[in-house]
Each structure stands twice: as C-alpha cells, then as structure tokens.
C-alpha cells in the first residue's frame, strides 16, 4: 500500500492533471554547509499570502484546485549559532511525480523545488527523502481552527499558541513561534524542533511577538 498523502489544512484539494515545468533554481545566497543543531517546520497561513501577494492564478490561490488554510512552507535545518545551512547540494529539480505527490501539502511546485534545493539538500541526499520527512512531521500536527479563532474578540498571539498546545499534547508554548505582519496579521506559525525532532524552545527570532500582542487572522475563504 502507498502511504497516504500529507495534506495542507485544506478545505479541498485536487491536484491538476498537468503542472508547469519548474525551471532550474538560482541560489539566493551563499552555500553554507554548517552542522545541524535543530529544525524549524514553517506553516504559512494561506489566505493572508493570497491577499498580500496578489496571486490569483496559482494552485494555492485560484481556488480551482483547492482552498487552503495552513500549508507547509518548508522544513528548515538550523545551526547551533549563526546563519542556517543552505544551498548544500546540486540544484537539481524534483521530478514532476515527486512534485505532484506533495502538492496538497505545499500547493506550489516552485516552492517545493526551492525548499528542497535551499534547505533539504543540507539534510538528506534526495528530494524524495526530504519530502517524506517533512510529510511525517506535517501529519503529526493538529492545526487549530484559525477561521473560528479569527472571530474571537480581542484576539492575541497567546490565544493562537494556547489553541495549538491544546490540540497537540506534549508541545510546550515556547516551541510555538508565530510570525505576524507589521499591521498585526498572521503570516506563519514556526514550530521548533531539536536535532532529535522533538519540540524544543524557539530562539527569539523564531518565537516572535509576546503572548499579549494583538493578532488578526485574515479568513478570505
């Protein structure tokens, strides 16, 4: 039996019959082959991305193939101190089959290819293994109902962290990072792991604003 696909927090997801070819990637920074001390699993709040990017044609935003809540942005290796490892391997593009298998988790072929080349190549030898590890972690998470939470009066970042730890037994609050825009809109949730893939305290840059910070969640659904 084939493993079940890992899905985004999708209201629906239908993989297109064809996907546009992904062009070879050009690194957006230097090669850094540093030792890995932990990981970050970053989940984007899709309605906010679609609003702020103006993207109306992609699978993620056009609604023809799906309607998404949280999607996997990427799994990132982290260094013990200083900049993270990146762009460690040859900039090969994952096969169309591998991309299609993961589009309901990350509904963007270009983003999947970028995350493998920039981050995954520093972790494992193949895109298949990188996405397999990402999917295992992704399937282990229970995402809070952000649509419902968005309607809470005087919503704060702490309310979102509280909902997350309530849905995920064993996750400490200090391992749940939240990224918001300058105007207070939810952008991403960044989950912090140690080298053993167990929840670990986030660094300040990952943890984000304090629990008392006001929060807004764009529904757009």
Mean pLDDT of the chain: 91
Lowest mean pLDDT among 20-29, 143-152, 183-192: 20-29
Q: Tell me: pLDDT of 205 over 80.
A: yes
Q: What is the pLDDT of residues 121-168, one digit of tens each?
A: 999 999 999 999 999 999 999 999 998 999 999 999 999 999 999 999
Instruction: Kindly report, residue by residue over 34-87, the tens digit of the pLDDT.
Output: 999 999 999 999 999 999 998 888 899 988 888 899 999 999 999 999 999 999
d(CA 108, CA 125): 22
Give residue 154's Cα distance to chain centre.
26
* pLDDT value at residue 7: 52
Q: How many helices (H) and strands (E) would you count in the chain?
A: 7, 6
User: Does residue 3 register a pLDDT over 50?
Assistant: no
């Amino acid at each position: 039996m084939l493993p079940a696909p890992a899905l985004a927090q999708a209201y629906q997801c239908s993989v297109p019959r064809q996907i546009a070819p992904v062009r070879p990637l050009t690194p957006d920074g230097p090669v850094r082959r540093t030792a890995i001390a932990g990981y970050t699993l970053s989940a984007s709040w899709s309605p906010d991305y679609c609003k702020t990017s103006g993207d109306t044609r992609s699978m993620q935003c056009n609604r023809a193939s799906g309607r998404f809540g949280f999607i996997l942005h990427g799994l990132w290796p982290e260094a013990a101190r200083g900049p993270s490892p990146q762009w460690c391997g040859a900039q090969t593009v994952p096969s169309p089959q591998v991309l299609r298998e993961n589009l309901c988790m990350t509904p963007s072929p270009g983003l999947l290819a970028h995350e493998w080349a920039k981050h995954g190549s520093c972790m494992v030898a193949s895109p298949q293994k990188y996405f397999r590890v990402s999917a295992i972690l992704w399937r282990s998470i229970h995402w809070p109902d952000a649509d419902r939470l968005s309607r809470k009066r005087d919503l704060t970042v702490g309310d979102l962290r509280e909902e997350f730890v309530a849905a995920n037994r064993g996750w400490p609050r200090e391992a749940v990072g939240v990224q918001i825009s300058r105007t207070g809109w939810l952008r991403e949730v960044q989950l912090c792991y140690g080298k053993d893939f167990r929840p670990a305290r986030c660094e300040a840059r990952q943890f984000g604003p304090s629990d008392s910070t006001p929060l807004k969640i764009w529904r757009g659904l």
